Structure 1
Amino acid sequence: MAGGRPQSKRSFSIIPCFVFVESVLLGIVVLLAYRLEFTDTFPVHTQGFFCYDSNYAKPYPGPEAASRVPPALIYALVTAGPTLTILLGELARAFFPAPPSAIPIIGESTIVSGACCRFSPPLRRLVRFLGVYSFGLFTTTIFANAGQVVTGNPTPHFLSVCRPNYTALGCPPPSPDRPGPDRFVTDQGACAGSPSLVAAARRAFPCKDAALCAYAVTYTAMYVTLVFRVKGSRLVKPSLCLALLCPAFLVGVVRVAEYRNHWSDVLAGFLTGAAIATFLVTCVVHNFQSRRPSGRRLSPWEDLGQAPTMDSPLEKNPKPAGRIRHRHGSPHPSRRTVPAVAT
């Protein structure tokens, strides 16, 4: 219903579907993300390197917790920021609904499951948007960790934590005759540094922090653009979206400035997170718009019939001056009297 009170309908499958399907899928995604990041279930690919390669010889910046943008801060921002934005947006939509004449709104039905459970449209929208966001957040983590495990691309400070024995590896020092690296090392035991630091230094592509920030910012910006209604100004929503983009860009800059990632790693992370958010918004939550309660898609002719029309003055017939009646007294539908012309 458009602009009316939403109807109620019964559904006995909404709770079992949520418990046994959606919750199970979300649990599998969380478990896979945990296995990829915190366990050795999937070993990181050992990629070779050139001796004295300047691209991987930057100084070690310290542990991730010592960064200016530590992982704990990033996880808190990507979790709390979009959640609060969606919560405030849905509360404002529920308590301050737009007038029916402003925008065409397709109302949702209140789902009644059993004798005590009622799911109102605001509650359904809130659970839907936050559930999809949580699923996408862990999916982004899986994509980023899987890319790091498969590629094994070293970080800019890889040689500082690897500490290879160039003499034992047969790597001559660079000279004016050989200014660049001339030997590619593929030995599995070439690194003499800490195994944990070496394994962490092989997980650079794509940048997971950049992917998470890009996902959170893209999802939130699309929600603000498609759901928020601001009258009287066209710069409020663009300004808010640009303000959301700034922290994600700064995270990428900090990762590169601290020699923790290359620019290519950060750009790949941005593209991964933005692509996942765009897919979920457009294909899963349908641009944050409600579906028709009947579930039946209108045909193109029915859809055109609901569009506003305007009468054309060319289609209006002139008012007849008179009508010729038949013998039974009914007017003929297609014959009109012609007024006599004085001669």
Structure 2
Amino acid sequence: MAGGRPQLKRSFSIIPCFVFVESVLLGIVVLLAYRLEFTDTFPVHTQGFFCYDSTYAKPYPGPEAASRVPPALIYALVTAGPTLTILLGELARAFFPAPPSAVPIIGESTIVSGACCRFSPPLRRLVRFLGVYSFGLFTTTIFANAGQVVTGNPTPHFLSVCRPNYTALGCPPPSPDRPGPDRFVTDQGACAGSPSLVAAARRAFPCKDAALCAYAVTYTAMYVTLVFRVKGSRLVKPSLCLALLCPAFLVGVVRVAEYRNHWSDVLAGFLTGAAIATFLVTCVVHNFQSRRPSGRRFSPWEDLGQAPTMDSPLEKNPRPAGRIRHRHGSPHPSRRTVPAVAT
């Protein structure tokens, strides 16, 4: 009950499950993300191109570190922003709880594992939300890198770093009677540029930076919407969520403006990150709501206290109609009639 001693629950499987199951799965996801991005374990698909194709002939914008939104800045934002938001939200929830009338009566139990380890509900919520967020962050990286490796879609500046020898490839220059590209090049050695730059220029779809930003802001915005409580204003939480979405949109705009990705790459990245965040929030952490402690039976009053109620007109009658028992014990309606009142 609210205001009483916190309920305790003994569990000897929480620590082994965390160490040998969840930590191992998270380590596998991190290792796979590292293999996909920083090694050539999975070679990028070599996609052909048309000669003199203007779609891939934009100027080379320079290395990723020279961008207006470099990868280091994006990684720092998608790591620190949601972590600080969830940390502050859970600390505020623990030290400044809402009144009993504003929150459900049912809460989580404190889990006791062994003789010394206690896991309070705030600690469990914090570890759960941040752990799931970390898992989803690396999962989004895997999805984005896997899509880039499988498709091998060129970036807008692909031909600038590829530097193909059109004469050796048999590509005639465009002319008024032949304005568009007329030959599709599939030669593996068609590019004379730096192999590392060419390999990086083949990883455009989907945009990984857009996917990470969309995942981070979707997860954080759903946390703010479902957990934060603001009285007296309906625009505080929507304004905060829109402020979180704005940097992700700007990242996509910058990627397109600097000729590093196409609009289709950015949109695919946004959809990938938002879909993964929505799935984890709704199906894994159950909309950031506390789970019922197992092994406890709830009274009907606790279950009905969380459901919307409606006043009944019968409750306004102080003396409900009843039945008059016969002297032999058989119930029947009263035979006496109420005299009519003359008006």
Fold match by TM threshold 0.5? yes
Q: Are 1:317 and 2:281 an aligned pair?
A: no
Q: Which residue of 2 aligns with 1:202?
A: 202
Q: Which residue of 1 aligns with 2:56?
A: 56
Structure-2 change in CA distance of 1:10 and 1:69 (3 Å): same
* 1:175-198 superposed Cα distances (whole Å, 9 cap, x missing partner): 001100000000000001111100
Structure-2 change in CA distance of 1:54 and 1:330 (3 Å): closer
Q: How many residues align?
A: 343
Residues in 2 aligned to 1:105 and 1:286: alpha-carbon distance in whole angstroms: 18
Structure-2 change in CA distance of 1:312 and 1:321 (3 Å): closer
Greater shift, 289-298 or 215-224, is seen at 289-298
| CA displacement at 1:337 relative to structure 2 | 7.7
Q: Is the 8 A contact 2:162 2:193 kept in 1?
A: yes
Q: Is the 8 A contact 1:321 1:338 kept in 2?
A: no
| CA displacement at 1:302 relative to structure 2 | 9.8
| CA displacement at 1:102 relative to structure 2 | 1.7
- Identity %, equivalent residues: 99
SS of equivalent residue, structure 1 residue 101: helix
Greater shift, 234-243 or 136-145, is seen at 234-243
The TM-score, its normalising length taken from structure 2, stands at 0.91
* 1:197-248 superposed Cα distances (whole Å, 9 cap, x missing partner): 0000000000000000000000000000000001111111111111111110
| CA displacement at 1:278 relative to structure 2 | 0.3
Q: Is the 8 A contact 1:324 1:332 kept in 2?
A: yes
Structure-2 change in CA distance of 1:337 and 1:75 (3 Å): same
Residues in 2 aligned to 1:156 and 1:179: alpha-carbon distance in whole angstroms: 19
Structure-2 change in CA distance of 1:142 and 1:300 (3 Å): farther
Q: Is the 8 A contact 1:209 1:251 kept in 2?
A: yes
User: After the TM superposition, which parts of structure 1 deviate over 3 Å for at least 4 consecutive aligned residues?
Assistant: 1-6, 295-311, 314-343
| CA displacement at 1:297 relative to structure 2 | 9.9
Q: Is the 8 A contact 2:104 2:306 kept in 1?
A: no
* 1:144-191 superposed Cα distances (whole Å, 9 cap, x missing partner): 000000000000000010000000000000000110000000000000
Structure-2 change in CA distance of 1:114 and 1:53 (3 Å): same
| CA displacement at 1:296 relative to structure 2 | 7.7
Structure-2 change in CA distance of 1:139 and 1:28 (3 Å): same
| CA displacement at 1:33 relative to structure 2 | 0.1
Structure-2 change in CA distance of 1:92 and 1:311 (3 Å): closer
Structure-2 change in CA distance of 1:329 and 1:199 (3 Å): closer
Greater shift, 186-195 or 300-309, is seen at 300-309
Q: Is the 8 A contact 1:323 1:336 kept in 2?
A: no
Structure-2 change in CA distance of 1:322 and 1:28 (3 Å): closer
Q: Is the 8 A contact 2:324 2:333 kept in 1?
A: no
Structure-2 change in CA distance of 1:339 and 1:319 (3 Å): farther
Structure-2 change in CA distance of 1:298 and 1:204 (3 Å): farther
Q: Is the 8 A contact 1:3 1:107 kept in 2?
A: no
Q: Is the 8 A contact 2:210 2:269 kept in 1?
A: yes
SS of equivalent residue, structure 2 residue 41: coil
| CA displacement at 1:292 relative to structure 2 | 1.1
The TM-score, its normalising length taken from structure 1, stands at 0.91
Query: Where does the alignment leave 5 or more consecutive residues of structure 1 unmatched?
Result: none
Structure-2 change in CA distance of 1:298 and 1:196 (3 Å): farther
| CA displacement at 1:294 relative to structure 2 | 2.7
| CA displacement at 1:6 relative to structure 2 | 3.3
Greater shift, 53-62 or 287-296, is seen at 287-296
Q: Is the 8 A contact 1:155 1:203 kept in 2?
A: yes
Residues in 2 aligned to 1:56 and 1:314: alpha-carbon distance in whole angstroms: 75
| CA displacement at 1:293 relative to structure 2 | 1.0
Residues in 2 aligned to 1:111 and 1:27: alpha-carbon distance in whole angstroms: 25
Residues in 2 aligned to 1:341 and 1:109: alpha-carbon distance in whole angstroms: 64
Q: Is the 8 A contact 2:323 2:334 kept in 1?
A: no
SS of equivalent residue, structure 1 residue 274: helix
Q: Is the 8 A contact 1:9 1:111 kept in 2?
A: yes
Structure-2 change in CA distance of 1:298 and 1:253 (3 Å): farther
Q: Is the 8 A contact 2:324 2:334 kept in 1?
A: no
Q: Which residue of 2 aligns with 1:152?
A: 152
Q: Is the 8 A contact 1:78 1:212 kept in 2?
A: yes
Structure-2 change in CA distance of 1:204 and 1:332 (3 Å): same
Q: 1:101-120 maps to which residues of 2 (within 5 A)?
A: 101-120=101-120
Greater shift, 233-242 or 201-210, is seen at 233-242
Structure-2 change in CA distance of 1:178 and 1:98 (3 Å): same
